[in-house]
Chains A and B, each alone.
Chain A
Amino acid sequence: MTSVILILVAAAVVLLILIIVLVVQHFKDMAKSRAITTPRQELTQMSRQARAQAQEKISIATEKEVMALHKLLQAQAQSISSEFSKQLQATTNEQLKAFEAALSDTLMASKAQITEVTKTGAEQAKLAKENLTKQTDFAKTKALESVDNNIADIMISYLAEVAGDLDYQQQKDYLYSAIEANKAAIKKDIENGI
């Protein structure tokens, strides 16, 4: 019980001190606000007010000018943008036309070159074919000539190899009949030779 009372007393003391501090502070503030101003101070204060008003007016005017300028700039920008766009479009169209013309020329040139190349290729192919035909014919002719020139030798060597040495008896009848058939010519040669 005693301790409770002590605590309550202490709290009451603290509260009282606090109230006193607040009252003192309140009176100090009131004394400040009610302090007596001098003419100089008033002039200074008026000057401050005028400056503040002037600054406010300047600020408003500046803001208006800025707004106007902004609008003007916006208009100019739009105009410039439009003009630039037109110029750009014209330039682009011009460039596009030039590009199309150049492309067309290039295509025509390429087409002509391709045609020329194709034509040249066809001509070369034709020439190559003709050369091949000529060479083939030449080789064929040479082969035939070779066969033609050597056929007798080939056949002779072939027959000699296959038949071997034909015996005199096997060809005797042929010899006699051949000479018999041509004896008049041989006799004539001999008579002319004597």
Chain B
Amino acid sequence: MAYKLPATIYNPSQLRSLQRELKQLKSLRSAQNIVFSENLQELAVTNSVKKLNTKIVSEMLSFIETLIGDAPEVSVSLASSPGNEDRVEFISWMRRKIHPQLMIHFVIRPELLAGCIVRTAKGVHDWSLKTALETNKEKLTKRLINA
């Protein structure tokens, strides 16, 4: 079964946490009276899993371990922190536009003023207002001098 990754799970540490949880579940004989983590519950809901059994846990574990090894990661630096809803919306949008299993590491940097910086393993895409000002400081200086 091909699992979908919920938008609430978006960084490698969550994947590793899920991996540990699923491994524990797999080693248990019975999953009764066990409180599942929110991430695991979300994973189950997203994939319409109503009951966790050994097979599903193994599949989920395999899926998560695959993601840990293969899921692409980006770092997104923002000037202000998005709320949970906005965060989920952004992650979903990024996975639609960029990659369905994209992992996102959010960094909040108020000095950016506005915009964002997206860092991948191969490059940096900077659309922050801070960088725009720094890049165009000569124009700004000229305007100040001319003024």
Hey, which bits of chain A sit against chain B, CB under 8 A? 144, 147-148, 151-152, 155-156, 159-160, 163, 165-172, 174-176, 178-180, 182-183, 185-187, 189-190, 192-194
Residues of A within 8 A of B79 (CB): 165-166, 171
Give the contact-size bracket for chain B.
35 or more
Instruction: Report the separation of the CA atoms of residues A167 and B90 in the bound assembly, to the nearest whole angstrom.
Output: 15
Whether A186 lies near B141 (C-beta < 8 A) is no
Main secondary structure of the interface of B (DSSP, over half): mixed
B129: chain A residues within 8 A (beta carbon):
156, 159
Contact A193 B120 (CB under 8 A): yes
Of B12-20, B29-37, B60-68, B131-139, the one contacting chain A is B131-139
B74 touches A190 (CB 8 A): yes
Whether, in the assembled complex, B125 has its beta carbon less than 8 Å from a beta carbon of chain A, the answer is yes
Q: Which residues of B contact A (CB under 8 A)?
A: 70, 72, 74, 78-83, 86, 90, 93-94, 97-99, 102, 110-111, 113-116, 118, 120-123, 125, 127, 129-130, 133-134, 137-138, 140-141, 144-145
Question: B93: shortest Cβ distance to chain A, in Å?
Answer: 7
Q: Is B113's CB under 8 angstroms from A193's CB?
A: no
| A179: B residues at CB distance < 8 A | 94, 97-98, 116, 118, 125, 127
Contact A168 B115 (CB under 8 A): no
Interface SS of chain A: helix
Residue of A whose beta carbon sits closest to that of B116:
A175
Question: Within 8 Å CB of A186, what residues of B?
Answer: 74, 98, 118, 120, 125
